Amino acid sequence: MESSMRFLNNLFAAYAVIWGGLFFYLLRLTRRTRRVEDELESLRALRGR
């Protein structure tokens, strides 16, 4: 029983690594893209002045 619980915890850990990793990478990518888009927008606005 204890051994199968440990198996289950580790199985959960393995899936959490992948799904968590993908989620955080995607989140980071989206935030970086938004930041660069905002900066580009302000640069273009400065240029247009």
Partner 1 sequence: MRARDVFDRWLPWVAGPAMLIALYCIFLVAPTEKDQGIIQRIFYVHVSSAWTAFIGFGTVAVTSALYLWTGRDRYDRVARSAAEIGVLFCTFVLLTGPIWARHIWGTWWQWDPRLTQTLILWTLYVSYLMLRAFGGDDDLVRRWAAVLGIFGVLGIPIIIVSVRILPGIHPAVLMTREGNTGLVDPRMRLALYVTAVAFLFVFIWLVHLRTRLQRLADTMAAMHAEHG
Interface residues toward partner 1, by CB under 8 A: 4, 6-8, 10-11, 13-15, 17-18, 21-22, 25-26, 29-30, 32-33, 36-37, 39-40, 43-44, 47
Nearer CB in complex with partner 1: 2/37? 37
Compare residues 2 and 14 and give the one whose CB is closer to partner 1. 14
CA distances from 2 to 10, 13, 14, 15, 16 (A): 12, 17, 19, 20, 21
Q: How far is the CB of 15 from partner 1 (least distance, A)?
A: 7
